[in-house]
A and B are shown apart, each in its own frame.
Chain A
Amino acid sequence: MAEGGGAIDPLHHFEIHPIVEIHLGGMDLSITQPVLWMMIATVATFGLFAFVAATLQRYPKGLQSFIEMIVDFLRKELVINVIGEEGKGWFPVVATLFLFILSCNLVGLIPGSFTATSNINVTAALAVLVFLMVQGAGIKKYGFVGYFKAFIPSGVPTWILPVMLPIEFISLFAKPFSLAVRLFANMMAGHMVILVFLSMIILFKSVIITPLPLIGVVIMYAFEIFVALIQAYIFAVLTASYLSDALHMEH
């Protein structure tokens, strides 16, 4: 990409610049583009849901039935079906993860905006949160010792433990790592492809070739909407399944 020159470097798009500089106690808390667009996504999502919640009708129609459908789907399919009845308390977290990631992804599709979820820091922050919640849920249910004891299945010969424990340990951290990387990579790659297509237009400077990358951009854009939805869903469903694992250590 370096030889393409600064003007058409697709990676340039992902660089973060402070919009409002904030420094608190030696920490850089500046509002950058991803922060701004995360805030916009947060406000938009809350505005939509608060509006629907404030105008709830006994007989739903239009927007309300759509929102209710989403809420009901998240509650039944993602939480109760995956975690079970005891997972009901985790519904707000799982649903908010889905909605937050989805709105960040969708807001990021607005031309000129920034996709917060295409930055590893954002996805890692969410993944760490999920990791902490999963461990917290397990420890709360089985106690600190009981929870970590459950990593060693009973009846396993002692000599195999030096092999098993590192594997269990790695898998424990691989889960949030994969969550973070999957979302980040998917969102970044999609935008990257679009940007590469657009760079091609500038690179070739040809009227004959221009329509081809343009068609590619349109197709990718449509695909990106799908990816935005599917990645939010995957993140939420994996969170639910990790919670379920932590809450059902008995097996």
Chain B
Amino acid sequence: MFEANPGLIIWTWICFITLLGLLAKFAYKPIVAMIESRAISIKEDLDASERTRKDAEELLAQYKVQLDEGRSEVQKMIEEGRAVGEKLKREIVAKADEESKALVKKAQEEINREKKKALMELQEQVAELSVQVATKMIAQTLEPSDHEKLIEGALAQVKAEYAKS
């Protein structure tokens, strides 16, 4: 146990160095390569997913901006439409108002004209009748009673005429 045994020492070296050589060549190299390549691929996957996430976030932000823009555009369009409608309404109302006023004015003018015409016609008739009455009075030598009758007859005629018009 304690005695030196050179043979055993040499065998230990042989065993150890053999194992070292074999393991280094056939075991450590492929196993370490596998661990490292896996670590690299995990890192790449993580990086890629990080990139994808960033892209997605950017896209989302973009869409949000677009959505906001669209929304404000729609709002603007609605307001514009409302303004146009309001203006149109006011125009239509104003036009209608104007037209109705013009119509009323025209009607009044018509009435006035007709009234004037009627008055003028009346005057003419009155004049004519007066002439006729005068003619009649002159044509007949008249008694005072006849005179009265004639006048009354003429007045009645005028009255009737006037009432007719």
Residues on A facing B (Cβ under 8 Å): 11, 14-16, 27-32, 34-35, 38-39, 41-42, 45-46, 49-50, 52-54, 56, 58, 67-68, 71-72, 75, 91-93, 95-97, 99-100, 116, 118-122, 124-126, 128-129, 188
Report chain B residues within 8 Å CB of A119. Answer: 1, 5, 8
In the docked arrangement, what's the CA distance between A56 and B38, Å?
12
Contact B12 A75 (CB under 8 A): no
Report chain B residues within 8 Å CB of A95. Answer: 23, 28
Give how many B residues have a beta carbon under 8 Å from the other chain's beta carbons.
29
Report chain A residues within 8 Å CB of B7. Answer: 27-30, 32, 35
Interface with A: B13-21, B68-76, B85-93, B103-111, which one?
B13-21
In the docked arrangement, what's the CA distance between A120 and B38, Å?
42
Among A45, A68, A71, A125, the residue within 8 A (CB) of B12 is A125
Contact A99 B19 (CB under 8 A): yes
Residues on B facing A (Cβ under 8 Å): 1-2, 4-13, 15-16, 18-20, 22-24, 26-28, 30-32, 34-35, 38
Report chain A residues within 8 Å CB of B15. Answer: 35, 38-39, 41-42, 100
A97: shortest Cβ distance to chain B, in Å? 8
In the docked arrangement, what's the CA distance between A27 and B5, Å?
10
B33: shortest Cβ distance to chain A, in Å? 9
